[in-house]
Amino acid sequence: MPTLASEKKTTRPSARPGRPAPELIFGDLWEFDPAPETADPKLKARYELFINGEFVAPKSGKYFDSVNPANEQKLAEIALASAADVDAAYQAAKAAYDNVWSKLPGRERAKYLFRIARLLQDRAREFAVAETLDGGKPIKESRDFDVPMAAAHFFYHAGWADKLDYVAPGRRVAPLGVVGQVIPWNFPLLMLAWKLAPALAMGNTVVLKPAETTSITCLKLAEILQDAGLPPGVVNFVTGAGEVGAAVMNHPIPAKIAFTGSTEVGKIIMRSLAGTDKKMTMELGGKAANIVFDDAPLDQAVEGIVNGIFFNQGHVCCAGSRLLVHEPVAKEVLAKLKNRIKVLRVGDPIDKNTDIGAINSKEQLGKITSLVASGVKEGAEMFQPACKLPTKGFYFRPTIFSGVSMSHRVAREEIFGPVLSILTFRTVDEAIEKANNTAYGLSAGVWTDKGSRILKMSTELKAGVVWANTYNKFDPTSPFGGYKESGFGREGGRQGLLDYCKLV
């Protein structure tokens, strides 16, 4: 008769009086030597604006510094655009749209996009290093994720460019005209690709502003656009901070404004554009719930939780920053998480072994620090591993808050840093209710062995993306975007293309 393993239940730690609970030792027995990526980022000392196919000095004559957040050293000077520069960029984009780009057949536009994708692949290492120096993200992420994924977006949309008759069955599509785009600092090159590729494939021309702390890879991509022979004016880059962004948004020429960034700024933009006929897409903040049920494969769930919140230092709008864990496994998940984050390597982003790099800016570090302080003050229990941090630069330890309740600030506000808040739930309904009890709705994760539960959760969670038994998976074919204050419009896939055209 088949029997079950019911033999001697070995004594649990609690039943071993006088002996300490067993612990794993993650010490320095085998320290890794530094392994810096050595490819040359080929940075210029000064970057100009990119208008009408040329690098031009700003009319203001002013420049600002771009700083490496890993060591606070200056990397390059970036041109500060004025309203007149933004206007020049729009005039160039309008002329390029009217005279060249809108008249090119899709198959010709595709050639340029393919060329951009290939040139980016050719210079992948160089771009990865530049991205890491400028933004602080670990080289392994810029090398294995940001740059290849950016190239993939150009490839994917190049494939669409000559098939646009099939993008909306039964309808014809036409480009919108000139579009204005503003992107954030967390994935500078990738967000650029997400914005440019569909706009260009559809036949629009572009004025784009990168974030002021991360302009370098954008302006390096301008070199690629030149090398690809892209007609002048089809893509224009203007650099600077908020005022430049406002000028890009409020200019009369663009038919559409696409913005990725904070909900706060998104609201300002929507207010200023109310009453105009500009189309908009907004990809804003998030406070995603990553929901772990008691039947989930826990080690893999823990891996997904870590990937969900510590990827790119938590500077991810879809970061799984709220962990909702089923009460029966809450203790176990927390214990496993602690052991897992003890082996995360925090430090110099250019080191190939670094898991968590530098926080993007001093300002962001301050914001994270104050929100974490509020978590401690409000009574959540904090855990941070005892890793050494570099003395120069902006760094923050991976942080876990347990015993968080829905009213805590760390459970409600987007921290945009390596900080995880853990809440518990008892039933499926409670999990859904807690997950949806947020102003945001960009993404969510579900971990369970039960397929039907995944399907139920994915229909009831008010989130643009629901990942099942994985997290932070992206693909150019898959639309990405939010509900509620996480924005509207989609990027990627057929849906993303539809946001860059009108149906005629």
Partner 1 sequence: MLATSSRAAFRRLFDEVGTVDAVGVEERVAKYGTRSIKKSAKVWGLKTAVSMVDLTTLEGKDTPGKVASLCQKALQPHDPELGVPQVAAVCVYPAMVKHARKALGSDTAVRIASVATAFPSGQAPLKTRLAEVKAAVADGADEIDMVINRGAFLSGEFGEMQDEIRAVVEACGDATLKVILEVSELETYDNIRAASFLAMRVIREGDFIKTSTGKTSLNATLGNNQVMIEAIRDYYLDTGISIAMKPAGGIRTAKQALTFLVAIKETLGDAWLNNSRYRFGASALLNDLVRQLEKEKTGAYQAPYYFSESAESY
Residues with catalytic annotation?
A: 283, 317
Residue 386 touches partner 1, criterion: CB under 8 A: no
Q: Which residue, 295 or 413, is less far from partner 1 as judged by CB?
A: 295
Nearest to 89 by CA among 179, 28, 21, 185: 179
Asked if 460 touches partner 1 (CB under 8 A), the answer is no
Site string for partner 1, 348-367 (x = CB under 8 A): ----xx--------------
Choosing from 51, 221, 298, 325, the residue that interacts with partner 1 (CB under 8 A) is 298
Please check whether residue 58 is in contact with residue 209, taking contact to mean a CB–CB distance below 8 angstroms: no
What's the DSSP call for residue 230?
P
Residues 257-296 that bind partner 1 (CB under 8 A): 295
Cβ atoms of 39 and 142 within 8 Å: the answer is no
DSSP alpha helix (H) spans, 209-287: 216-227, 242-250, 263-273
* Number of residues assigned to the chain: 504
Cα 33 from chain centroid?
30
- Helix residue ranges per DSSP H, 362-417: 362-377, 409-412
Work out which of 54, 77, 223, 303 binds partner 1, going by CB under 8 A: 303
> Does the protein bind partner 1 through residue 19 (CB under 8 A)?
yes
Contact call for residue 475 and partner 1 (CB under 8 A) = no
Tell me the Ramachandran region of residue 248: left when phi exceeds 0, alpha when psi lies from -120 to 50, beta otherwise. alpha
Give yes or no for residue 451 binding partner 1 (CB under 8 A): no
Residue 364 zone, left/alpha/beta (φ > 0; ψ -120 to 50; rest): alpha
Query: Which of 181, 313 has the CB closer to partner 1?
Result: 313
Q: Which of residues 22-61 bind partner 1 (CB under 8 A)?
A: 22-35
Instruction: Find the part of the chain contacting partner 1 (CB under 8 A) among 13-21, 73-81, 408-416, 437-445.
Output: 13-21
Q: What is the CA radius of gyration of the chain?
A: 24
CB of 331 to partner 1, least distance (A): 12
99 and 164 Cβ atoms separated by less than 8 Å: no
Nearest in space to 315 (alpha carbons), one of 242, 439, 414, 218: 414
Which one of 60, 102, 458, 469 is in contact with partner 1 (CB under 8 A)? 469
Q: Using the minimum distance from each CB to partner 1, give the nearer residue, 201 or 350.
A: 350
CB of 195 to partner 1, least distance (A): 28
- Which residue, 343 or 373, is less far from partner 1 as judged by CB? 343
Cβ burial, residue 339 (10 Å; 0-12/13-18/19+): middle
Residues lying near partner 1 in the complex (CB under 8 A) are found at 1-5, 7-8, 10-13, 16, 19, 21-35, 140, 144, 295, 297-301, 303-304, 335, 339, 343, 352-353, 449, 469-470
